[in-house]
Copies of this chain bind each other. A is one copy, B any other.
Amino acid sequence: MIELTHDALDPEKITAKVYRDTNGAVVTFLGTTRDNFEGKQVLTLEYEAFDEMAIKKLEEVRQEMMAEFGLEQVAISHRVGTVGIGEISLVVAIGSPHRKEAFYACHKAVDRIKEVVPIWKKEVYQDGSRWVACEDHEFSPAESHGHAH
């Protein structure tokens, strides 16, 4: 139920993993690559991962969500390498008898993935590039340095 891949993600295939006749709800998150950063046009994104640890951490997040929300179906796929604009970089799919747990678990899983999984995203512009420090972080490309969590 965990996948780290250079291939394009197929949300339908990943979501299909969490369908069960005993479930009434499937909540899916698709992370897609945005075409701009503070008005600057992004041409493409490069995702780099520390593979062994990323897979381990993705599985940890999966297990955490299953334990915390009493779930059995949690699938996570993360893409690495070059990802074009508008393409899917992350899929989290949760199947659950009831929707509340599915929504909470899916949201928290994405938050945790962005906190703990050693994957890095570089935005490539016409005139340069920038390692994204962390999502929604006010970060000027000029002072492109590391930032503690």
Interfacial residues, chain A to chain B (CB-CB below 8 A): 11-12, 15, 19-36, 85-86, 97-100, 102-103, 106-107, 110, 135-136
Q: Which residues of B contact A110 (CB under 8 A)?
A: 99
Q: Given the complex of chains A and B, what is the CA–CA distance between A32 and B19 in angstroms?
A: 8
Partner of A22, one of B19, B28, B36, B107: B36
Known contacts A12-B12, A86-B21; is-contact A29 B26 (Cβ 8 Å): yes
In the complex, the chain B residue whose C-beta lies closest to that of A20 is: B86
Known contacts A99-B107, A103-B107; is-contact A24 B31 (Cβ 8 Å): yes
Q: Given the complex of chains A and B, what is the CA–CA distance between A28 and B91 in angstroms?
A: 11
Q: Are B15 and A24 in contact (CB under 8 A)?
A: no
Q: With A21-B85, A26-B28, A103-B107 given, name 10 new contacts (CB 8 A).
A: A15-B30, A21-B34, A21-B35, A22-B36, A23-B34, A24-B135, A27-B27, A27-B30, A34-B97, A99-B110
Q: Which residues of B contact A36 (CB under 8 A)?
A: 22
Q: Given the complex of chains A and B, what is the CA–CA distance between A106 and B102 in angstroms?
A: 12
In the complex, the chain B residue whose C-beta lies closest to that of A136 is: B98
Sample (24) of A-B pairs whose CB atoms are under 8 Å apart: A12-B12, A15-B30, A19-B32, A21-B34, A21-B35, A21-B85, A22-B34, A22-B35, A22-B36, A23-B32, A24-B33, A24-B34, A24-B135, A25-B30, A26-B29, A27-B29, A27-B30, A28-B28, A28-B29, A29-B102, A29-B103, A98-B136, A100-B107, A103-B106
